[in-house]
Amino acid sequence: MAAAGSGWAAVCEKFRTARTLSAVESRKDPETEPYRSKYSARALLQEVKQLLSAAEEGGEARLLAVRRAVLEYELGVNHTDTEELSAGEEHLQRCTQLLEPHRLSPDCVSLYIQAQNNLGILWSERDEIKTAQTYLESAEALYNQYMKEDGNPPLDPSEHFMAEEEKLTDQERSKRFEKAYTHTLYYLAQVYQHLEMIEKAAQYCHTTLKRQLEYCGYYPVEWALNAATLSQYYLSKQCFMESRHCLAAASVIFSQAGQVPSAEDNETEQDQQDLRQRKAEIARCWIKYCLNLLQSARKLLEDNVGELDPDRQLELKAQRKKEEDEKEKGRKKAVLFGTSDICDSVLAMEEKVSSVYPLDFQEAREIFLVGQNYVQEAKEFFQVDGYVTDHIEIVQDHSALFKVLAFFEEDYERRCKMHKRRIDMLEPIYADLNPQYYLLISRQLQFELADTYYEMMDLKVAIGNRLEELDSHTIKKINSLAQLAIKYYELFLDSLRNPDKVFPEQLEEDVLRPAMVAKFHIARLYGKLITSDSKKQLENMQTSLEYYTFLVDYCEKYPDAVRAVETELELSREMVGLLPTRMERLRAKLCPFI
**Footprint of another protein on 532-551 (CB under 8 A):** none
Q: Is the dihedral of CA 115, 119, 122, 124 positive or negative?
A: negative
Residues 514-533 that bind another protein (CB under 8 A): 514, 517
Stretch of 233-241, 297-305, 310-318, 575-583 lying at the interface with another protein (CB under 8 A): 233-241
Contact pattern from residue 23 through residue 62 relative to another protein, giving x for each residue in contact according to CB under 8 A and a dash for the rest: x-------x-------------------------------
Q: Is 252 in the site for another protein (CB under 8 A)?
A: no
Nearer to another protein, 32 or 169 (CB): 32
Is-contact 422 402, C-beta < 8 A? yes
Q: Is 295 in the site for another protein (CB under 8 A)?
A: yes
Is-contact 153 171, C-beta < 8 A? yes
| Residue 308, SS3 per DSSP | strand
Nearer to another protein, 437 or 558 (CB): 437
Q: Is 253 in the site for another protein (CB under 8 A)?
A: no
Q: Is 433 in the site for another protein (CB under 8 A)?
A: yes
Q: Tell me how far, at minimum, the Cβ of 438 lies from another protein, in Å.
A: 7
Q: Tell me how far, at minimum, the Cβ of 491 lies from another protein, in Å.
A: 15
Q: Tell me how far, at minimum, the Cβ of 217 lies from another protein, in Å.
A: 6
How far from chain centre, in Å, is Cα 264? 31
Q: Is 510 in the site for another protein (CB under 8 A)?
A: yes
Q: Tell me how far, at minimum, the Cβ of 514 lies from another protein, in Å.
A: 5
Nearer to another protein, 520 or 526 (CB): 520
Q: Is 287 in the site for another protein (CB under 8 A)?
A: yes
Nearer to another protein, 202 or 252 (CB): 202
Q: How many CB atoms lie within 10 A of CB 468?
A: 5
Q: Is 233 in the site for another protein (CB under 8 A)?
A: yes
Nearer to another protein, 470 or 511 (CB): 511
Is-contact 119 166, C-beta < 8 A? no
Residues 353-412 that bind another protein (CB under 8 A): 384-389, 400
List 21, 69, 92, 205, residue binding another protein (CB under 8 A):
205
Residue type, 177: F
d(CA 293, CA 400): 12
Residue 191 DSSP symbol: H
d(CA 103, CA 70): 13
Is-contact 234 243, C-beta < 8 A? yes
Residues 258-277 that bind another protein (CB under 8 A): 270
Residue type, 308: L
Residues 440-459 that bind another protein (CB under 8 A): 440, 443-444, 447, 451
Is-contact 142 119, C-beta < 8 A? no
198-214 helix and 240-259 helix, angle to the nearest 10 degrees: 30
463: enclosing H helix or E strand: helix 439-466
Q: Is 70 in the site for another protein (CB under 8 A)?
A: no
Residue 302 bridge partners (DSSP): 308
Is-contact 92 111, C-beta < 8 A? no
Contact pattern from residue 119 through residue 158 relative to another protein, giving x for each residue in contact according to CB under 8 A and a dash for the rest: -xx--xx-x-x--x--------------------------
Query: How many residues lie near another protein (CB under 8 A)?
Result: 79
Cβ contacts of residue 98 below 8 Å, gap of 6+? Answer: 65, 66, 68, 69, 72
Q: Tell me how far, at minimum, the Cβ of 482 lies from another protein, in Å.
A: 19
Q: Tell me how far, at minimum, the Cβ of 229 lies from another protein, in Å.
A: 5
Residue type, 397: D
Q: Is 8 in the site for another protein (CB under 8 A)?
A: no
Residues 329-358 that bind another protein (CB under 8 A): none
Q: Is 314 in the site for another protein (CB under 8 A)?
A: no
Q: Tell me how far, at minimum, the Cβ of 51 lies from another protein, in Å.
A: 24
Cβ contacts of residue 373 below 8 Å, gap of 6+? Answer: none
Is-contact 235 289, C-beta < 8 A? yes
| Residue 383, SS3 per DSSP | coil
Q: Tell me how far, at minimum, the Cβ of 2 lies from another protein, in Å.
A: 34
Residue 364 — φ and ψ, nearest 5°?
-65, -40
Q: Is 565 in the site for another protein (CB under 8 A)?
A: no
